[in-house]
């Protein structure tokens, strides 16, 4: 029997989706599952987007330009300009989701064996994209105690070798919800310029910034046009994950010319996804105001509920719709599987994502989980009740010294 490639064998499973078989079995057994494991919003997509797809008069679903429809790219450039980002149509390649934007960026910028520094915990699929491109991830640890703030520049310097070619961040962050400050981004720019590195920034959650805090893009950094690559997607902005439309943006003409060759190899991005995405740019501000208010309420509720639970700690995120919580458990993978296989709270349970999959460092995140607060408040209330009940009876619960003393 022929063997699969070494690359295929090394490709990591998704920590977000690997528990799906256990969830399916639990559902067949009649248990209701509250899905806090995946960033699939329950917010309705903008009506203007849905209407454009529904009312399209396309008779032949033909290839678009490999960089995406010109009308969409022109309109999308205007969207970025509203955020004071100096982006033109020529600086944009439309991709099949943000995932393809990341994959193309890695193949464009890095050679096999090159190293990229990524603050961890980070979006789990960065590991997969790096594996596919034969790029080596060098993680730099951010801590839950600091709310996952960017580590000091000195820590980055320690990791830089002759093989280092780039730094990658997610801002606002998945899975932490951390929102980078301008000072932190300026520090990253200084490192990138000093060592001639690419600075890749995944900014798909820019619409979700809380408490009046300001979103700052890498495209706002002056003097770094040839180093900066912006990665984007409509999935979260318009609650349109299945449309599969993303974008790769850079002012570096050599990068864009090379990236286009990869885009040409896959022919073109989805036709109807582009139709919807172009129309979605006309979404009224009231839509975003309502969505932001809803997510703020959900965040506040979940963070408060988590920190009231015995032995649980969760910093308050400033962006996106995720948080990382530290739980009094022995092993997050075991706990999350146990919730689906063995736990039942009034016919209900909760599905979480083990944080181990969001770290590249072996053994990191063993007592942490990622929670996506993408459900309505009633469901979030039930999910938090399930989690609190589960932690009380989980066989692998950690007992702190105070509790041990009380028991003895």
Q: pLDDT tens string for the chain (408 positions)?
A: 999 999 999 998 887 778 999 999 999 999 999 999 999 999 999 999 999 999 999 999 999 999 999 999 999 999 999 999 999 999 999 999 999 999 999 999 999 999 999 999 999 999 999 999 999 999 999 999 999 999 999 999 999 999 999 999 999 999 999 999 999 999 999 999 999 999 999 999 999 999 999 999 999 999 999 999 999 999 999 999 999 999 999 999 999 999 999 999 999 999 999 999 999 999 999 999 999 999 999 999 999 999 999 999 999 999 999 999 999 999 999 999 999 999 999 999 999 999 999 999 999 999 999 999 999 999 999 999 999 999 999 999 987 644 433 333
CA 180 – CA 286 distance, rounded (Å)? 26
Q: What totals of helices (H) and strands (E) does the chain contain, helices first?
A: 14, 12
Which pLDDT belongs to residue 17? 78
Measured CA angle at 235 (ends 186, 380), to 5 deg: 95
Angle, helices 47-54 vs 271-280, to 10°: value is 140
CA 236 – CA 108 distance, rounded (Å)? 25
Write the CA distances from 215 to 22, 101, 169, 218, 219, integer angstroms: 38, 21, 14, 10, 11
Q: Is 320:173 a contact under the CB 8 Å cutoff? A: yes
Please, what's the b/e burial string for 202-217 (b: 16 or more CB within 10 A of its CB; e: otherwise)?
Answer: bbbbbbbbbeeeebbb
CA 5 – CA 271 distance, rounded (Å)? 33
CATH 3.40.640.10 at 47-280, yes or no: yes
Q: What is the pLDDT of residues 76-124, one digit of tens each?
A: 999 999 999 999 999 999 999 999 999 999 999 999 999 999 999 999 9
Beta strands in 25-176 (DSSP E): 32-35, 92-95, 115-120, 136-141, 164-170
Eight-class DSSP state of 219: G
CA 143 – CA 121 distance, rounded (Å)? 9
Global pTM value: 0.94
Eight-class DSSP state of 276: H
CATH 3.90.1260.10 at 6-44+286-396, yes or no: no
Q: Is 349:271 a contact under the CB 8 Å cutoff? A: no
Element (H, E) at 108: helix 97-109
CA 62 distance to own-chain centroid: 31
Eight-class DSSP state of 242: G
Neighbouring C-beta atoms of residue 129, cutoff 10 Å: 22
The helix/strand/coil state of 405 is: helix
CA 282 – CA 285 distance, rounded (Å)? 9
CA 235 distance to own-chain centroid: 11
Neighbouring C-beta atoms of residue 300, cutoff 10 Å: 14
The residues of the chain that CATH labels 3.40.640.10 are 47-280
Instruction: For residue 142, count CB atoms less than 10 angstroms from its CB and return exposed for 0-12, middle for 13-18, buried for 19 or more.
Output: buried
Dihedral sign of CA atoms 188, 193, 194, 197 in order: positive
Q: Is 299:371 a contact under the CB 8 Å cutoff? A: no
Contacts of 201 (CB under 8 A, 6+ apart): 168, 169, 170, 171, 217, 218, 228, 229, 230, 231
Which pLDDT belongs to residue 13? 82
Q: Is 285:332 a contact under the CB 8 Å cutoff? A: no
Q: Is 362:45 a contact under the CB 8 Å cutoff? A: no
Beta strands in 142-255 (DSSP E): 164-170, 198-202, 228-233, 246-249
Neighbouring C-beta atoms of residue 398, cutoff 10 Å: 13
């Amino acid at each position: 029997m022929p063997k699969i490639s070494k690359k295929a064998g090394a490709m990591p499973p998704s920590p977000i989706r690997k528990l799906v078989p256990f969830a399916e079995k639990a559902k067949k057994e009649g248990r209701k599952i509250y899905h806090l494991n995946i960033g699939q919003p329950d917010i309705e997509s903008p009506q203007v987007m849905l209407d454009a797809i529904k009312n399209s008069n396309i008779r032949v679903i033909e290839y678009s330009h490999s960089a995406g429809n010109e009308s969409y790219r022109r309109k999308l450039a205007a969207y970025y300009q509203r955020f004071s980002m100096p982006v033109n149509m020529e600086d944009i390649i439309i991709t099949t989701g943000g995932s393809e934007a990341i994959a193309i960026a890695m193949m464009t910028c890095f050679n096999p064996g090159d190293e990229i520094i990524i603050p961890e915990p980070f979006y789990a699929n960065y590991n997969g994209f790096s594996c596919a491109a034969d790029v080596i991830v060098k993680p730099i640890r951010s801590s839950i105690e600091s709310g996952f703030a960017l580590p000091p520049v000195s820590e980055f310097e320690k990791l830089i070798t002759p093989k280092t070619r780039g730094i990658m961040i997610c801002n606002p962050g998945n899975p932490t919800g951390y929102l980078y400050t301008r000072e932190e981004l300026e520090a990253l720019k200084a490192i990138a310029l000093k060592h001639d590195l690419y600075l890749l920034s995944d900014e798909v959650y820019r619409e979700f910034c809380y408490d009046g805090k300001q979103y700052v893009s890498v495209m706002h950094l002056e003097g770094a046009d040839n180093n900066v690559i912006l990665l984007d997607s409509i999935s979260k902005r318009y609650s349109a994950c299945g449309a599969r439309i993303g974008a790769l943006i850079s002012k570096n003409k050599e990068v864009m010319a090379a990236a286009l060759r990869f885009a040409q190899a896959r022919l073109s991005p989805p036709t109807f996804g582009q139709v919807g995405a172009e129309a979605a740019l006309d979404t009224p501000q009231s839509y975003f105001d309502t969505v932001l208010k809803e997510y703020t309420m959900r965040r506040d509720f979940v963070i408060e509920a988590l920190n009231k639970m015995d032995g649980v700690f969760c910093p308050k995120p400033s962006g996106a719709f995720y948080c990382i919580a530290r739980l009094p458990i022995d092993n997050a993978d075991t706990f999350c599987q146990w919730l689906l296989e063995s736990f039942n709270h009034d016919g209900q349970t909760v599905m979480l994502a083990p944080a181990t999959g969001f770290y590249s460092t072996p053994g990191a995140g063993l007592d942490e989980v990622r929670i996506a607060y993408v459900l309505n408040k009633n469901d979030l209330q039930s999910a938090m009740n399930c989690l609190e009940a589960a932690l009380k009876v989980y066989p692998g619960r950690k007992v702190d010294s105070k509790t041990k003393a009380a028991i003895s």
